[in-house]
Structure 1
Amino acid sequence: MFTACHSEEGEPAPFRGFVQPDGFPETSYDFSRNEVTQEGFELGKKLFFEPRLSRNNIISCGSCHIQTAAFTHHGHDVSHGIDDQLGIRNPMPIMNMAWNEEFFWDGGVFDLDLAAINAITSPVEMDENVPNVLRKLREHPEYPALFKKAFGSEEITDARFFKALSQYMLMAVSGNAEYDKIRGKEAGHSFNEEELAGYQFFQNNCSSCHAEPLLTDKTYRNNGLTPNHVDDQGRFDVTLNKDDRYKFKVPSLRNWQYTGPYMHDGRFLTLDRVIEHYRNGMLDSETLDPVFRNEDGTIGVKMTEEEKENLIAFLKTLNDSDFVSDPLLAEPIINSSYTK
């Protein structure tokens, strides 16, 4: 069974590299080109929380991806970046990245090693460029030695920089929720009557999109949201295929307790509001996913109040408290004395 990387006393356990949780599918990431090592991971963690990745040396990756919020931007509907500017989408959690082939709500990036480029170069997130980031790291008194430990020489290149960031993100594995313990038949763990009924409802009505055990099928779907004020058309902006209008990546339901608000633009503040959208609030359109069309001509997921309560009871088993408190992933102490 997968366990978080900490000892019984709460101190960080010895580094053990990437560990795949029991029952998870094979990973998608090619570890042969970027093996996770302790030195690479520690460098990546320092870089993830490094504000020098931004133009004003204030915003880091960790500014919008907070561990206690399952690496989302807690309490913000959309990302808040440099100079307090607003993005247009809610930051997706950094979680179980090794099982993804495409990234972000629209799937516009197809390699984890390239994912950070979007945030660094976005004028409303970090507003910086990669060559300048590398210059700042080369001039920093600590980074050349850290790159040597991780990669064998002090040379700081874009490839090494992005691989180190990937090593940290790859270690953000969530697979120790109550759901996982039950699924793995761990002694002393089982669904109660309400959770079991909710699980059965989930399997019959939700699992076609939120496939187990990752709780996402990684596809892009139109789930009946009304267009927002910027008319974000999601996957269409990447493919330019009219059939992809208003389709967004199906997010994992893991750790939902920590990741609100919900949807690609953070429009729903609570789980109850999300469920009510699927029950009664969906907008019909040409690209609405067929899974939401009922035989009687209605749209949405039909459920009674009892079924709703049961579903919520099951969904609570998907939260992994070890993941959001794992000291291995915690923000390191960064030397702020060097500000060039």
Structure 2
Amino acid sequence: MKLSKTWLAVIGLAGLSIILSAAQKEKAITYKPTPYKLSLPEFVYDYFEPMPMPANNPMTQEGVALGRYLFYDGILSENRTMSCGGCHRQANAFSDPRQFSFGVRGDLGIKQSMSLVNLGWSHFLFWDGRAKSLEAQGHDPITNPIEMASNWKLILPRLQTHADYPKMFYKAFGTTKIDSSLVLKALSQFQRSIVSFNSRFDAYFFGGDASVFTKEEERGMDLFFSEGASCNHCHSDVLLTDNFFRNNGLDLKPDSGMAKNTLLAKDIGKMRVPTLRNIALTAPYMHDGRFKTLEEVVNFYFDKVNAQSPNLDEHMTMLTNRVYVPESDRKALVAFLKTFTDSTLIQNKAYSDPFAFDAD
């Protein structure tokens, strides 16, 4: 049977269409991740070490993008109503303005949700240091019964049958088979991308621009870095934290703190030293959110450190024998602490809720 030239042309076009369609599909699922370059000012490298990266989870643009979606997606919680971003809000430098966060079942948390900024340099996570990496940290809030109250048998099928996530996981990790380790790797990549080094303090201290400070703020800086307040012993370096665990003398009978993890008596009362970056945005303060304002925090350190608290940090002893600090110095110190605020952090769309952004 002979086919007309018209039919041959139709068949040829159909075949070409099939070939092109197959090629497009193959191209669409090509695994070729793009390395993610952290945007950091030069002074970070001049004064501090590069962010350490796990060999089995290098940052890629695709991995960070996937992690951002997962961070803001309620799909990871038991009833799909709560995301990581619900307790770590961008407007509050990725902390929670509530004293304690509520879980999906209405349960109240027992620790204040600290800021997630610059966590890529932290080797131990949580107030008690029980997680040794961001990858390990992510598991707890997802499965904790008073937080997101979920489990991987529930989560993974949701992700696997989702319209978009298998493709996103392929682009990030080269596989459409989703498991918990890949979820945690993606979340960790996004959290490592959340960096903050663009405050007036940075412009003054590292950039040499004295015009950005008032006289009061300069006085506060003098107190911060001197025996007047001695804040820099613990809130040091570029990160404004030494990432150590210390008992700061909050109570005579302190929370077990790090001892809950290590089971060592010498660690009772020791909590992770939080960063002071964006501290004006991260109220309430301390592991239990007991202080609502920076003024309360400053007054505590000047007047109320419990000298008899077990395992009291040696740097706190300097604060227990001081003479009265005048109100003007206290106000100056608070004014200086507010210079740590990075307004670009809370406006950066790269860190924002992609679902809200997509809706726009």
TM range (shorter): 0.7 to 0.9
Who is 1:140 aligned against? Answer: 162
Q: Which has the higher helix share?
A: 2
Distance 2:275 2:237 in 1: 9
Q: CA deviation at 1:28?
A: 4.7
The change in CA–CA distance for 1:165 and 1:54 in structure 2 (over 3 A counts) is same
Who is 1:308 aligned against? Answer: 330
Query: Which residue among 290, 300, 305 is the counterpart of 2:314?
Result: 290
Distance 1:162 1:27 in 2: 22
Distance 2:73 2:154 in 1: 14
Who is 1:78 aligned against? Answer: 100
Who is 1:152 aligned against? Answer: 174
RMSD value over aligned CA atoms? 2.3
Q: Is the 8 A contact 2:298 2:334 kept in 1?
A: no
Q: Is the 8 A contact 2:251 2:309 kept in 1?
A: no
Query: Which residue among 225, 232, 236 is the counterpart of 1:211?
Result: 236
The answer for unaligned runs of 5 or more in structure 1 is 1-14, 336-340
Distance 1:251 1:81 in 2: 23
Distance 1:197 1:180 in 2: 16
The change in CA–CA distance for 1:30 and 1:234 in structure 2 (over 3 A counts) is same
Structure with the bigger RCO (C-alpha within 8 Å, sep 6+) is 1
Who is 1:237 aligned against? Answer: 260
Q: Is the 8 A contact 1:278 1:300 kept in 2?
A: no
The answer for unaligned runs of 5 or more in structure 2 is 1-34
Q: CA deviation at 1:304?
A: 2.3
Q: Is the 8 A contact 1:95 1:173 kept in 2?
A: yes
Distance 1:227 1:80 in 2: 28
Q: Is the 8 A contact 2:280 2:337 kept in 1?
A: no
Question: Residues 47-58 of structure 1: matches in 2 within 5 Å?
Answer: 47-58=70-81
Distance 1:118 1:215 in 2: 26
Q: Does 1:202 align with 2:189?
A: no
Distance 1:300 1:112 in 2: 39
Query: Which residue among 279, 283, 286 is the counterpart of 1:260?
Result: 283
> Secondary structure at the residue paired with 1:207?
helix
One-letter code aligned to 1:289 = D
Who is 1:18 aligned against? Answer: 38
| Identity score, percent | 37
The change in CA–CA distance for 1:294 and 1:34 in structure 2 (over 3 A counts) is closer
Q: CA deviation at 1:184?
A: 2.6
One-letter code aligned to 1:271 = L
> Secondary structure at the residue paired with 2:354?
coil
What is the TM-score with the length of structure 1 in the denominator? Answer: 0.87
Q: For 1:277-328, what per-residue CA distance to the aligned partner results, in whole angstroms no more than 9, with x for missing partners?
A: 1111222222111212249xx4579632222122112111101111011111
Q: CA deviation at 1:103?
A: 0.6
Q: CA deviation at 1:59?
A: 1.1
Distance 1:86 1:158 in 2: 26
Q: CA deviation at 1:240?
A: 1.0
Query: Which residue among 124, 128, 132 is the counterpart of 1:110?
Result: 132
One-letter code aligned to 1:281 = K
The change in CA–CA distance for 1:268 and 1:132 in structure 2 (over 3 A counts) is same
Q: CA deviation at 1:171?
A: 0.9
Distance 1:95 1:330 in 2: 14
The change in CA–CA distance for 1:28 and 1:241 in structure 2 (over 3 A counts) is farther
Q: Does 1:273 align with 2:296?
A: yes
One-letter code aligned to 1:118 = D
The change in CA–CA distance for 1:117 and 1:95 in structure 2 (over 3 A counts) is same
Distance 2:288 2:118 in 1: 21
Distance 1:302 1:256 in 2: 25
Q: Larger radius of gyration, structure 1 or 2?
A: 2
Distance 2:38 2:204 in 1: 23
Q: For 1:124-161, what per-residue CA distance to the aligned partner results, in whole angstroms no more than 9, with x for missing partners?
A: 00111123222211121211111111122212122221
> Secondary structure at the residue paired with 1:33?
coil
One-letter code aligned to 1:213 = V
Who is 2:30 aligned against? Answer: none
Structure 1 stretch displaced more, 246-255 or 151-160: 151-160
The change in CA–CA distance for 1:85 and 1:19 in structure 2 (over 3 A counts) is same
Distance 2:162 2:278 in 1: 36
Who is 2:142 aligned against? Answer: 120
